[in-house]
Amino acid sequence: MYVRVAVLLLSLPQRVSCAPARGAFAHPRRALPPALPVLIKEILALTTRLFSPLTPSLSCRSIHIVALGNEGDAFHQDNRPSGLIRTYLGRSPLVSGDESSLLLNATSTVARPVFTEYQASAFGNVKLVVHDCPVWDIFDSDWYTSRNLIGSADIIVIKYNVNDKFSFHEVKDNYIPVIKRALNSVPVIIAAVGTRQNEELPCTCPLCTSDRGSCVSTTEGIQLAKELGATYLELHSLDDFYIGKYFGGVLEYFMIQALNQKTSEKMKKRKMSNSFHGVRPPQLEQPEKMPVLKAEASHYNSDLNNLLFCCQCVDVVFYNPDLKEVAEAHKIVLCAVSHVFMLLFNVKSPADIQDSSIIRTTQDLFAINRDTAFPGASQDSPGNPPLRVIVKDALFCSCLSDILRFIYSGAFQWEELEEDIRKKLKDSGDVSNVIEKVKCILKTPGKINCLRNCKTYQARKPLWFYNTSLKFFLNKPMLADVVFEIQGTTVPAHRAILVARCEVMAAMFNGNYMEAKSVLIPVYGVSKETFLSFLEYLYTDSCCPAGIFQAMCLLICAEMYQVSRLQHICELFIITQLQSMPSRELASMNLDIVDLLKKAKFHHSECLSTWLLHFIATNYLIFSQKPEFQDLSVEERSFVEKHRWPSNMYLKQLAEYRKYIHSRKCRCLVM
């Protein structure tokens, strides 16, 4: 049938020119070929047969469009006077037939004294009636007919030419007040047709200014649309793009909305009339709400802050100029915040930094002492003693404990730091001097120090999220003091971060275990990719699994090391991925949901296992057809059957209703 339509279309003449007439389409300027009417009628019949089964609910429907205003005719091709409405009816693929087929229906259209009436078919079998009134004098001549037509309109189109302010003011001053009185929740489209003359000229001479003043601006059109709650469109020309896709797309959207509203109103009337006295269709209940999984709050900052006070895995000790111990710290944390410490601990060279102010600050504030006979040296770990750093500035050294607490807290609580320093140093000049040195320590290479006002940085995020961070040291040998051996490869790490972020590793490195004294630690039961994702979370407090399988492996690793927040993150990731899958993808995917459920239960992920049971029950018709459904335990199977959706009762009622409908050969109210 499609081939037949295509052959008939190719048989038509390439163009049939015509002239408009008041009340309907005019007769053609030249006589139509004798075979043309027969071809057009056959095409219309085939088109109706093709599209009528696709829109059964639209049969015996009609759309009434009222068009008001004069859009001019300076933008049409072939010097044929054709307006916006006529051009749309002639080119829209949703309106059955072309311009020549509309000419055949001209005899059936009615020429009203007020409006020009067009009739066509849209969406296959929906009757489309358009009344167009371009001149206000004609509209006002028969007020009774005009008011009735506007009151019965499903869509109102207001059009004017952007280069004709008279047509715009005629619309604004005459049509709009009438429409406001008769408007009753009817969609309105305002179409501004044409390209403005001299719109882009920068000249301010009187001639150009007068030309621009004769055009209707976009602001005026939008303001008019706001008054009516209308949709505003600018159509620079009446070509296929602006008419078919732009204006036609908006108009067809409102046509579909009008059809839906009429269909719903008809359904309501049918229900109220109680015309159907047979068996009512069963009501499908809503599925049960899925369990809500709440994420655990982050304790990243507090973990690193507690590392300063627990004094575990210390690898650097600060001394005052008198060689008296002042504070202990960790190289990895200091280097994650400051390029000064990176330079001091040889993580980066002066050539890498390339900032003279940072190099000067490092040399002026700190000095490393490597003397083996140092009087204040710690004897806790003779094999690998902490690095000794002498603070040259006495004022800075007196506030070093507060500065370290500020750095370990994320280096963003400037007001608190200034307060603590002010308590120790009474002189405001000394306070400013110490604050400036802290700002120099936190400076980014190559950038001007912008930390001018402490109050403006009070509400910002911790410095872990900016510039250098702990992620810079992830899986890198710099400052590493432990190496994990996984699947024949090695992964370097830093004990201080592992101890601060993971209680299991804190006990492992500080207890009477082999790992406490060993540098190379083997890891079993976890792949390298999963363990790297686990370390990424410990270093950055975030992770992004590649898929559901990797998220489940990461969850198992997090359960092994007792990192509960990472378990919750993996659970949320798996749930989000499954919820976003459409039913077709769920039915065809290779992922074993039952196996996922059993792993979640085995690794004590109660929230995920409960959610997965509800998920299987909610998608019962999909998962019950899969072979792994038989692997559910008796208890799990009982839960799924109890909470299944749709319920077994509903399916039985639906089968009985369908049987009744087919036996009575009556029309279903739902289907």
Q: What is the per-residue DSSP string for 294-360?
A: PPPPP-HHHHHHHHHHH--S--EEEE-TTS-EEEEE-HHHHHHH-HHHHHHTTSS-HHHH--HHHHH
Question: For the chain, how many structural domains are there in total?
Answer: 3
In whole angstroms, give the CA distance from residue 68 to residue 64: 13
Phi and psi, residue 144, nearest 5°: -65, -50
Domain check: are 421 and 494 in the same one? no
Domain check: are 258 and 311 in the same one? no
In whole angstroms, give the CA distance from residue 365 to residue 361: 6
**Domain encompassing residue 330:** 299-371+385-442
**pLDDT of res. 589:** 86
Domain check: are 402 and 547 in the same one? no
Task: Count Cβ atoms below 10 Å from residue 544 Cβ, excluding itself.
Answer: 11
Q: Is residue 483 domain-resident?
A: yes
Most trustworthy range by pLDDT among 543-547, 568-572, 584-588:
568-572
- Does residue 214 surpass a pLDDT of 50? yes
Domain check: are 235 and 361 in the same one? no
- Does residue 347 surpass a pLDDT of 70? yes
DSSP string, 479-522: T--EEEEETTEEEEE-HHHHHHH-HHHHHHHHSSSHHHH-SEEE
pLDDT class for 72, splitting at 50, 70, 90? confident
**pLDDT of res. 482:** 94
CATH number at residue 360: 3.30.710
Mean pLDDT value across residues 513-542: 91
pLDDT class for 238, splitting at 50, 70, 90? confident
Contacts 24+ apart (CB under 8 A), 109-112: 109/23, 109/24, 109/25, 110/23, 110/24, 111/22, 111/23, 111/24, 112/23, 112/145
Strand positions, DSSP E, 75-177: 116-122, 126-133, 155-161
Domain check: are 596 and 493 in the same one? yes
Burial of residue 144 (CB within 10 Å: 0-12, 13-18, 19+) is: exposed
Is the pLDDT higher at 670 or at 101? 670
Q: Is residue 334 domain-resident?
A: yes
**pLDDT of res. 468:** 44
Q: Is residue 177 domain-resident?
A: yes
Is the pLDDT higher at 550 or at 381? 550
Q: Which of 427, 442, 457 is the last residue of a domain?
A: 442
Domain check: are 305 and 438 in the same one? yes
Is the pLDDT higher at 18 or at 235? 235
CATH number at residue 645: 3.30.710.10
**pLDDT of res. 538:** 93
Domain check: are 216 and 166 in the same one? yes
Q: With the CA atoms of 247, 250, 255 and 257 taken in that order, what torsion angle do they form, in degrees rounded to the nearest 10?
A: -170
Domain check: are 527 and 638 in the same one? yes
Is the pLDDT higher at 270 or at 580? 580
Q: Is residue 283 domain-resident?
A: no
Task: Count Cβ atoms below 10 Å from residue 568 Cβ, excluding itself.
Answer: 19
Domain check: are 267 and 314 in the same one? no
Domain check: are 257 and 335 in the same one? no
- Does residue 291 surpass a pLDDT of 60? yes
Q: Is 373 helix (H, G, I), strand (E, B) or coil?
A: coil
Domain check: are 235 and 346 in the same one? no
Q: Which of 9-23, 271-285, 403-417 has the lowest mean pLDDT?
A: 9-23
Mean pLDDT value across residues 284-303: 84
Q: Is residue 380 domain-resident?
A: no
CATH number at residue 175: 3.40.50.300
Q: Is residue 669 domain-resident?
A: no
Q: Which of 79-83, 285-289, 350-354, 356-360 has the lowest mean pLDDT?
A: 79-83
Mean pLDDT value across residues 139-143: 70
- Does residue 93 surpass a pLDDT of 80? no
Q: List pLDDT tens digits, range 303-345.
A: 888 888 887 889 999 999 888 999 999 999 999 888 999 999 9
Domain check: are 173 and 101 in the same one? yes
Q: Is residue 6 domain-resident?
A: no
Q: How far does Cα 661 stand from its chain's mean position?
A: 44
Q: Is residue 601 domain-resident?
A: yes
In whole angstroms, give the CA distance from residue 439 to residue 420: 16
